[in-house]
Structure formats: C-alpha cells, structure tokens
Structure 1
Amino acid sequence: MSFWRNLLRPAPLPVDGPPPSVGEDRRVYAVGDVHGRLDLLEDLLGRIAADDRARGPMPPHLILLGDLVDRGPASRQIVSLVMTLAAEEAGLQCLKGNHEELFLLAAKGDVTAIPTFRKAGGGATLASYGLPQRDFEAMADIEIAAWMLAHVPRDHVDFLDALPDRLIVGDYLFVHAGIRPGVAIERQSGADMRWIRRDFLEHEGAHPLMVVHGHSITDDVDERANRIGIDTGAYFSGRLTALGLEGSKRWVIQTGE
C-alpha cells in the first residue's frame, strides 16, 4: 500500500573526512516543519513506524525540528499530540522554531508580537483554538493578546516554552533554522538557531557538526556538504519530510508522493 511506501534516496557524502554518524546504537528520524498539518504528521509517523520495523530492532529517536504551529488548520491538535507523545515516548524530542517563539510571545500577552504573528499565519493557529478567522481579522492587536491569555491552555504555553533550541546526536547538530558560521556551538544564540537564513545558507565551509535544519523551504531535501535542509513546505506542498539516520547511513521518508 502506498501509505506504507518509504521513499529512500542515496545521500552524497562530505568531500573530506569520514561521513558523519549518529552512532551505531540508535536510529534517528528528524522531521521538518509541520505547520498545522496534522494529517501529514500522522501520515509521516505511520511511515516512520513502518520503516523502523522493517529495519530491525534499534532504539528509535524522533526529533521534530520546530514550527509545529501556524498556517495549517490543526496547530492545537498537533501541540496536544506532540505533548502526549513526548510524555509517553522517551525517544521523542521537539525543538523550538521561530513560529513557536511568536506564538509564545503573543500567548503571554505581548501586544508588540501580534502584527508579526498575524503575518506568520497566526489566524489559522487561533482558529484551531476556537477563534473564528473573521473575528481574528476584525480584532485589534490588544484584543487578540487578551483572547490568547484567556483561551490558549497554559500547559501548551509551558510545553512550547520549555523546548530546546538545539540537540546533538553523534556528529549531527539538529536546529530549527541554522547556526551562525564561525561561532562555537555552545555560544550560538537562540535567535540565530530559530531565525537565521542567508548567512547560514550561503556558508560553504565546514561546521563543527553536520547541521540538520528546517525553516528555509526547498522543493526537496537540500543536502550539502555541511548541512541538510528538510523543510519542504508541507503546509502548501503536502510533502512533509523525515530524514532517517543510522550510523553513517541516511535516507528520506516523505508524504505526498
């Protein structure tokens, strides 16, 4: 059945040195930006589970690269699902994306964040929490901030607020957006890891670790010698991407094909 079909592609290796590895004792699946598409996330999780079973016993580790919310229709449902999975599965972790940052600022009553939240697809997010889109568009920024304080569950806010900005597994660094070239990993700013684009994307030199990131949309996996981008614009393309890693092996699993 096509639902269970895994889409595997060979991966180019760095020109110099041995290929990066997550270690021989684990299997990692990194998932790109979901943006409110619960249907795609559930589809992809099913494909990942089938892939994991087919590859044999190995502790699986699932990493969501952030931007769970905004744009798509089911942000609230996705946050609830990820919270449940994180509580039940020790091998699941989620990173904080720039859209989580905006959502959190607005949900804590920061009126100055509302204009950017609007532009970022916040109307769809609040619709999933019960605010009709027409009301969202008619309300003043201060009214939206007040509505969020009253209606967004505080456990959702607390969960998203506690998400980390980075995760290291073996020779891989997982972040939402990227890192500042030339800056040690331990000195990277949260803002860069959630928001950076051009300086990171155009850098061709080596990083301390192989960086796996989302945030910057490409038609397919953007695999370079120093980074791997897996944001394939799921909310409009229907293609949500996971990168599978085991030892030095890599493969890709996607929805929508």
Structure 2
Amino acid sequence: MLRSYAIGDVHGQHAKLVGAHELIAADRARTGDAEAPVVHLGDYVDRGPDSKAVLDILIAGLADGAPWILLKGNHDDMMRDFLDPIVPSGEAARWLTDKVGGRQTLASYGVSVASLRAADRLRKEACKTVPSGHRDLLETLRPSYRRGEVFFCHAGIRPGIPLDDQSERDLIWIRDEFLLDPRDHGALIVHGHTPGERVVHCGNRVNLDTGAGYGGPVSVVVIEGRAVWQLTPDGRVPVRDVR
C-alpha cells in the first residue's frame, strides 16, 4: 500500500514547518520508510513572520535530495507575479494588501515596507533583494500531484472535470464549487487553502489548512491508501470521515 505524507498551508511559519518535518521523521523511524514522498500543499509565504526562511528550508531539502513534492498555492503565485516585471503593476500590487500579506513576506527579506511606500518602488527593491533561487523555486512549483488513490492540490478541483484536465487556476483558487460538492472525484482530494480549526475528512476530500496564516498550526498527515492519520507528538491519530 502506497504511503504519502502531506503538509498543509505554512504561511511564513518557519518553526512550525520545522516541527511538521520532525513529526514526519519520527513516523519514518517507526515505520522504517525513508522513501515515502512528502507533499507540501502550497502557500509557503505571506502573513507569517519568516517566509524567507520557509523557502530556504524547501530549497535546501530539494538540494539534499529529499523526496519532497512542492505544490503551488495562490499566495506563492501572487508573489511570483509581483516579482515578474511582465505582470502589470496594478495587478501585481494586490499581493501587498493587508488581506494577502505580501508586505510581511518582503519584510522577511529585509525590504522596508512602510505603509506609505509606493508599490512600484517596493517591487523594484524586491526584485533586487529576493534571491534568484527563491524566484526560481516559485516558477517550478507544481499545480497538482497524484499518487495511487490520492490527488493532491492546493485549493481543490472543479467537480465533474477529469483530474488530468483541471485548470491551474481552479487547483490554486477554487472554494465553494468544490467544498460543497459531495460527489466522489475519482480519488481522495487532499488540499488546503480554506482555513479551519482542525484537519477535516469529508469522505471525498481532506482539508489540511488549519490556519497557520492566522496563528494556527501547520498540520501534517500520513496517508496509506485512502486512510488518513494526523501526526502528533504522541504519534498517529486517525482522521475520521465526518459525513
């Protein structure tokens, strides 16, 4: 039976991401499985205190050959757009709004983000300050990943459309059309994007976003077939279907 690990939204919470990987290491030690992939569901940046350190961890892990899959979240995509001079300035500037949290991300790189600084000046400074390796990582994030009976993505899928034909926009942005649909989607959809107080298993989907962007934890699970356990300091805790 295939085993996979998955980590929910991080949002600049460096210490909590480290803690999630420590829980995976402990589970690997118990099972003797050093090869099962760790799927990161995206939204590595924004709102939290140290997005730069989060991207540093991800880049270092990939360089060391860790079996990690890095998916794209909508916040990661907005950061990429902000650093891309081809994207119109007005569109890119939405990343800086308080609701999104891009200013906190820039601050983690040492960019001065005083509220009165114009977006175009911040953009120029950010393009000089954010390391090329971080920009490269944002360009190479995957929209989705399928392994056995599980389909991983950041936000969800468009119901009724084959998984191989999903649009990238839906995979990183969709909400109610997916969240409120009770149908089986041909695989268990493991996603984040919509924060809640706990990991929730709805039968056809599992949501791992537990609000790290608002001070909540970064949650991590292990999946075998379609069975899901949350990893805790005390070991595995089954995530039950709430239907």
TM-score in terms of structure 2 length: 0.89
CA distance in 2, matches of 1:48, 1:42: 10
CA distance in 2, matches of 1:247, 1:184: 20
8 Å Cα contact 2:12-2:54 kept in structure 1: yes
CA distance in 2, matches of 1:141, 1:133: 9
Displacement of 1:243: 1.4
CA distance in 2, matches of 1:254, 1:232: 14
Q: Which residue of 1 aligns with 2:236?
A: none
Classify 1:101/1:51 alpha carbon distance in 2 versus 1 (closer, same or farther; 3 Å). same
How does 1:1-257 map onto structure 2 within 5 Å? 24=1, 26-57=2-33, 59-109=35-85, 110=87, 111-119=89-97, 120-134=100-114, 137-254=115-232
CA distance in 2, matches of 1:141, 1:149: 12
Higher RCO, 1 or 2 (CA under 8 Å, sep at least 6)? Answer: 1
CA distance in 2, matches of 1:58, 1:52: 6
CA distance in 2, matches of 1:105, 1:98: 10
- Secondary structure of 2:37 counterpart: strand
Displacement of 1:242: 0.7
- Secondary structure of 2:15 counterpart: helix
1:218-241 deviations in Å (ceiling 9; x for gaps): 111121111000100023333111
Displacement of 1:254: 4.8
- Secondary structure of 1:206 counterpart: coil
CA distance in 1, matches of 2:159, 2:70: 23
8 Å Cα contact 1:29-1:61 kept in structure 2: yes
**Segments of 4+ in structure 1 off by > 3 A?**
none
CA distance in 2, matches of 1:56, 1:90: 16
Q: Unaligned regions of 5+ residues in structure 2, if any?
A: 234-243
- CA RMSD of superposed structures (Å): 1.5
8 Å Cα contact 2:111-2:129 kept in structure 1: no
CA distance in 1, matches of 2:16, 2:171: 25
CA distance in 2, matches of 1:49, 1:90: 12
Displacement of 1:34: 0.3
8 Å Cα contact 1:240-1:254 kept in structure 2: no
Q: Unaligned regions of 5+ residues in structure 1, if any?
A: 1-23
User: What amino acid sits opposite 2:62 in the alignment?
Assistant: A
- Secondary structure of 2:195 counterpart: coil
8 Å Cα contact 1:108-1:145 kept in structure 2: no
- Secondary structure of 1:41 counterpart: helix
CA distance in 2, matches of 1:104, 1:254: 33
Classify 1:57/1:118 alpha carbon distance in 2 versus 1 (closer, same or farther; 3 Å). closer
User: What amino acid sits opposite 1:55 in the alignment?
Assistant: T
User: What amino acid sits opposite 1:124 in the alignment?
Assistant: Q
Displacement of 1:132: 2.7
User: What amino acid sits opposite 1:51 in the alignment?
Assistant: D
Displacement of 1:58: 5.4
CA distance in 2, matches of 1:248, 1:73: 34
